Structure 1
Amino acid sequence: MTSVPAGFLDLPTRSAKPRVVGLTHVLDPGAGRIATADVLASAAAHLDIWKVGWGTAYVDTALPAKLALLAEHGVAACLGGTLLEIAWAQDRAAECLAWARDAGFSHVEVSRGTVAMTLAEKHALIRRAARSFTVLAEVGAKAPGEQLAARHWPAECRADLDAGAQLVVTEGRQSGTVGTFDAAGRVRPDVVEAVATAVGVERVLFEAPRAAQQAWFIRRFGPEVNLGNVALGDVLSTETLRLGLRSDTALAPRRELAGSDTA
């Protein structure tokens, strides 16, 4: 029996796929084909970018089947930035990008959170990757305690976009305790506002793995904010936050009409 989506509630407007705003980006820690198919069966309509995290793509024998499923469901496959950083450090970035293209990735993340890389070197890598891929450029370090993010990230974001990135990604990691967040997982509003002001919120993908973090961004910027590093099992939960179908954001659409809440 085919389920018919409900339609009796007054909900915020959500753009349809292929979306350019309101993106939901997930972090895949190494899901198998069956787990991937299960997520897509229920949540593909609400899922835009699937990042194969860290170096898992390099060792995953199920990768071809997984990428075929993503293509079938209209979900963009993104290579995680750590693998490209390691390849770059070994002077193998060209080989990594060629492999990713042949494997079927349409997006790549360019970051400098693992290996020592200058801004000039990062931008050269963005320009190279942008010849064949949609580039997501990450800003921020993976280690906790980055004190000057609000001062330095805006200029890096602008330069990343100028180099050819389509979106900038604010570091949050899988833990949600670095970069955009403090060690307890609380949002750092000064960092968020500095980046959003510098490049426009629609060009920023905020890594926000925790429900409370996702709710904060939705209350601040509305249901069409771009959210990243969502857990595979949380896609539908995140969509209910966007639509005000959880207590965390049930009043957010009304607040948005009167001005966003930054608390």
Structure 2
Amino acid sequence: MPNFLSVPERASKPRDRGLTHVLDTGVTAAGAADVLAGSGPYVDIWKTGWGTAYVDAAVVEKLAVLRRHHVATCLGGTMLEIAWSQGVVDACLDWAAGAGFTHVEVSRGTMPIGADDKRDLVRRASRQFTVLTEVGTKDPDDLPDPGAWRDEAVADRDAGAALVVAEGRASGTVGIYDTHGRPRDAVVEALVEGIGVDRVVFEAPRTAQQAWLVRRFGPDVNLGNIATGDLLGVETLRLGLRSDTAVCPVGTCP
């Protein structure tokens, strides 16, 4: 990167904060290689969402591409939820390990998984993987209780989760956002109060949401559900290279 502008210092990979978490909705192995050719330094976790890993004949090849770029690979939570509902959790986890996944997401946004069963899934998955858990549901009519989200995040962490993902979906209209995509401040603050901002990955598919989080928590906030085509744009938001987050230092402006 050039060095003639003053921008926030960003740690290089592997980093434990300022993570960019990608939502892969079906990118091919070749497509992943193309994305990472320019964006690889800015991608930390790559989640295969929507059960695409199960039907992708080249998923092992794609995971190998990601590994070469030092990107952690995460199996999306819905697939594990379905495995739980069918009584085949161990088969799912063993398959994921054999395919080359390094991380697994544990969620309960689709199937009726109780809190205790979720903690059990976290403990089982953490024997083989780094575990991300998700709090919140995908139902836009389900108004979040900040205290309940905080307590679930704390319990997930105590069960062995490395990171907690705050639900926002690919639409950015549920969970930590209202139906118009506006952040629900009380829910965001409750999660940060419970486990600390560095342990939360905020799903933020929209530019306005990404910018709000960067302005609120700084360039090293963890951002999730980022589309593959938005990776460079997200990094420019972190560095203040877009009008959404640009700041003119006092005494230096014309």
- The answer to whether TM tops 0.5 is yes
Provide the C-alpha distance between the structure 1 equivalents of 2:220 and 2:83, rounded to a whole number of angstroms.
Answer: 34
Provide the C-alpha distance between the structure 2 equivalents of 1:153 and 1:214, rounded to a whole number of angstroms.
Answer: 21
Q: Residue 95 of structure 2 aligns with which residue?
A: 99
Give the conservation status (yes or no) of the 8 Å contact 1:111–1:137: yes
Give the conservation status (yes or no) of the 8 Å contact 1:136–1:166: yes
Instruction: Deviation per CA, 1:67-122: give whole Å up to 9, x if none.
Output: 01000000011000000000011000100000000000000000000000100000
Q: Residue 144 of structure 2 aligns with which residue?
A: 148
Unpaired runs of at least 5, structure 1 = 256-263
Unpaired runs of at least 5, structure 2 = none
Q: Residue 86 of structure 1 aligns with which residue?
A: 82
The TM-score normalised by the length of structure 1 is 0.93
Please state whether the residue corresponding to 1:109 is helix, strand or coil: strand
**Structure 2 counterparts to residues 179-190 of structure 1, below 5 A:** 179-190=175-186
How far apart are residue 254 of structure 1 and its match? Answer: 5.7
Provide the C-alpha distance between the structure 1 equivalents of 2:190 and 2:134, rounded to a whole number of angstroms.
Answer: 15
Provide the C-alpha distance between the structure 2 equivalents of 1:144 and 1:234, rounded to a whole number of angstroms.
Answer: 25
- Counterpart code for 1:92: V
- Counterpart code for 1:175: S
Provide the C-alpha distance between the structure 2 equivalents of 1:63 and 1:143, rounded to a whole number of angstroms.
Answer: 29
Which aligned runs of 4 or more in structure 1 are off by greater than 6 angstroms?
none
Kindly indicate whether residue 202 of structure 2 is the aligned counterpart of residue 206 of structure 1: yes
Provide the C-alpha distance between the structure 2 equivalents of 1:254 and 1:129, rounded to a whole number of angstroms.
Answer: 46
Kindly indicate whether residue 121 of structure 2 is the aligned counterpart of residue 125 of structure 1: yes
Please state whether the residue corresponding to 1:113 is helix, strand or coil: coil
Kindly indicate whether residue 20 of structure 2 is the aligned counterpart of residue 27 of structure 1: no
Q: Residue 258 of structure 1 aligns with which residue?
A: none
**Structure 2 counterparts to residues 50-65 of structure 1, below 5 A:** 50-65=46-61
- Counterpart code for 2:17: V
Please state whether the residue corresponding to 2:6 is helix, strand or coil: coil
Kindly indicate whether residue 72 of structure 2 is the aligned counterpart of residue 76 of structure 1: yes
Please state whether the residue corresponding to 1:172 is helix, strand or coil: coil
How far apart are residue 35 of structure 1 and its match? Answer: 1.1
How far apart are residue 15 of structure 1 and its match? Answer: 1.1
Give the conservation status (yes or no) of the 8 Å contact 1:145–1:182: no
Provide the C-alpha distance between the structure 2 equivalents of 1:76 and 1:254, rounded to a whole number of angstroms.
Answer: 35
Overall identity of the aligned pairs, in %: 59
The TM-score normalised by the length of structure 2 is 0.97
